Amino acid sequence: MSDSLPTTLRAPLEDGLRALALDATLAEPLLAYLALLDRWNRTYNLTAIRDPGDMVTLHLLDSLAMHPYVRDIATLADLGTGAGLPGIPLAIAVPALRVTLVESNGKKARFLREAVRVLGLANARVVEARAEAVAEPGAFDAITARALATLADILALGGHLLKPEGRLLAMKGAHPAEEIAALPAGWRVRSVSPLQVPGLGAERHLVEVTRTGHV
């Protein structure tokens, strides 16, 4: 583990990984990512969460809670990924998943490229652009956005990236009934699933949205 991180982080991370039915050996690359994020965060302010212990729960485990929903797909675009959340933890946990990290902020995109290089993530790439400007229509099985706007807004910005049968996998807090009611024509909710994030008492839901007519 990097000297910049407390050694006490490993045990709660490993416990959280086991609770999510993930291999505890993933702690090593995840902590390497966290150490890099912590180091860059001191200069570039990539995330408002500064405490590495909070990052374990609110960044790593929170992102990984959705891993069952990406295991049956090949390609994922993480829109407005910021410091690489949830895309980098998912790329680490699911090596068969090809993750595209979409971020328009230059300093965050630089960090993402460095993280992909340092971590040796052959299944991740960085696209420095706004989501609506990514010219890869119909290229992805799924898109996700952890902190980007409403369901309708995400679809307006990134819906063009989805294959006809593709899905939006939106991470939300409380059940977003109003956002679901405001979905644009041509889209429907496939499922809303509560997520259990180890160490976190707050509500989390994973909303799957697909085009009308697709299961």
Q: What pLDDT does 1 receive?
A: 45
Give the number of C-alpha atoms closer than 13 A to the C-alpha of residue 172, restricted to the C-beta side.
23
CA distances to 45, 59, 60, 62, 64 from 196, in Å? 28, 14, 13, 9, 10
* Mean pLDDT computed over every residue of the chain: 94
The β-bridge relationship of strands 187-194 and 205-211 is: antiparallel
Q: What pLDDT does 45 receive?
A: 85
CATH level 2 (architecture), domain 7-211: 3-Layer(aba) Sandwich (3.40)
Q: What is the pTM of this model?
A: 0.95
- The domain spans of the chain are 7-211
* 45-53: average pLDDT: 89
What is the spatial distance between Cα 41 and Cα 78, in angstroms, rounded to a whole number? 20
Q: What pLDDT does 48 receive?
A: 87
* 49-78: average pLDDT: 95
What is the spatial distance between Cα 184 and Cα 113, in angstroms, rounded to a whole number? 34
List pLDDT tens digits, range 130-150: 999 999 999 999 999 986 689
Contacts of residue 81, Cβ cutoff 8 Å, sequence gap at least 6: 87, 88, 101, 102, 103, 108, 112, 146
